[in-house]
Structure 1
């Protein structure tokens, strides 16, 4: 569509070797070309007040940051990143604007909206089975996925108590909250919808010393990921673009 608005991808990874590949994973999964998927590195430059009417939708990537880190131990950049993402979430919710948080962002959203974030349901880097709830199967975005599918995860914290008014859309055996929605167009996923197994193996190389798994087990983790069949999650991003370009315009 020649008159279609662009989408904005916001990344918050300080590790430069992971930033470009994450953007490319999102671009490929959404089906957007570089001209329609703008990129803002929030770890490098303040976001400011994004003009929501200039975009069809916004996708927020992951990060090694954890919202459960004590405030006094957070770097100033992390505190700014979290404050700006929280502000964006509130604005998007108030405006009914399409916004999708992934992985780290689900913690920012949960905390901002009064839910609980903790470390009880962390998951090692692996492929896990995700199961949709009845509400998930009926959801215009998440319902594009099968009732059960495998997705790639790797996180130390998760949502332990949903914010008031949030609708649980999917969970897994090890992590009860994998996707939820607030309002009509604000979504958050705990798993990574953008990556292929090859993408995730490359990302594991970058983060092998970040505590997602013992660094000495990188070869075993890579082999486990390589043997996984993960084909469905990227459909979530393609569907997000489809809805934002048509139904949600």
Structure 2
């Protein structure tokens, strides 16, 4: 089969490698079936997306709504816009995780800002009527818990987006564009231990007070995060492998 492509934007080696491992683990893909490119390290080469079964975009420290952006962030955003243009032209299978939802929303003309940011931790979410019918959510309960942690979020959906998962504190948690482009605000690739590892790396990045790390770690271990949330990744891999 053709490999899947994971685009990562995390400058920290441990975070980029942890993201790759968690995507591999919960998607069920083998190492050789997932090609990772770290977009923050160097300009993206010209990609032929037909070489891949699908594209995943991981999270990262960047925010689409940042008022001041480094030259690296601006270059990353420009590179990702080129990829998204190709994704939308051919409706290429795409799954964006956390940072991906802001990137796609901004690219499509929706509104991303700091209105609905959420602190690091588990939240209660629910599928919409459209979510009940979507093939990627077939194994996910009507209501479920997942991990979040984000400074910005979608305030207004872009035109044509279909809301699949919603929450109370942050209304837009997952949507689909066209038939094959999906984005989530929550993290289907993180269980408690992966989430704690991620928090350790970003403890000084402004997502939470650093001195609360141990308490947040205990809360994560005690949370009833639904194992079925990880099937979003495995369903994506199974549905689009070719």
TM-score range, shorter chain: over 0.9
Indicate the SS of the match to 1:232: helix
Alignment of 1:185-224 (within 5 A): 185-224=180-219
1:9-53 deviation per Cα after TM superposition (whole angstroms, max 9, x unaligned): 111001122111110000101101111111101111222332111
Indicate the SS of the match to 2:102: helix
Residue 241 of structure 1 corresponds to which residue in structure 2? 237
1:118-143 deviation per Cα after TM superposition (whole angstroms, max 9, x unaligned): 11111111111110000011012233
Please give the root-mean-square deviation of Cα atoms over the aligned residues, in Å: 1.0
Residue 5 of structure 1 corresponds to which residue in structure 2? 2
Residue 112 of structure 2 corresponds to which residue in structure 1? 117
Unaligned runs of at least 5 residues, structure 2: none
Q: Kindly indicate whether residue 65 of structure 2 is the aligned counterpart of residue 65 of structure 1.
A: no
Residue 87 of structure 1 corresponds to which residue in structure 2? 82
Residue 151 of structure 2 corresponds to which residue in structure 1? 156
144-153 or 130-139, larger mean C-alpha shift: 144-153
Q: Is the 8 A contact 1:93 1:185 kept in 2?
A: no
Separation in 1, partners of 2:117, 2:51:
36
Q: Kindly indicate whether residue 117 of structure 2 is the aligned counterpart of residue 133 of structure 1.
A: no
Q: Is the 8 A contact 2:24 2:30 kept in 1?
A: yes
Unaligned runs of at least 5 residues, structure 1: none
1:79-121 deviation per Cα after TM superposition (whole angstroms, max 9, x unaligned): 1111111221121111011011110111111011000001111
163-172 or 48-57, larger mean C-alpha shift: 48-57
Separation in 2, partners of 1:32, 1:229:
25
Give the alignment partner of residue 42 of structure 2, picking from 42, 45, 56. Answer: 45
How does the TM-score come out when normalised to structure 2? Answer: 0.97
Q: Detail structure 1 runs of 4+ shifted over 6 Å in the superposition.
A: none
Q: Is the 8 A contact 2:139 2:228 kept in 1?
A: no
1:166-219 deviation per Cα after TM superposition (whole angstroms, max 9, x unaligned): 100111111100000110001110011101110100110110111111111111
Residue 31 of structure 1 corresponds to which residue in structure 2? 28
Q: Is the 8 A contact 1:201 1:225 kept in 2?
A: yes
Indicate the SS of the match to 1:62: coil
Residue 16 of structure 1 corresponds to which residue in structure 2? 13
How does the TM-score come out when normalised to structure 1? Answer: 0.94
Separation in 2, partners of 1:116, 1:45:
28
Indicate the SS of the match to 1:178: strand
Separation in 1, partners of 2:105, 2:138:
22
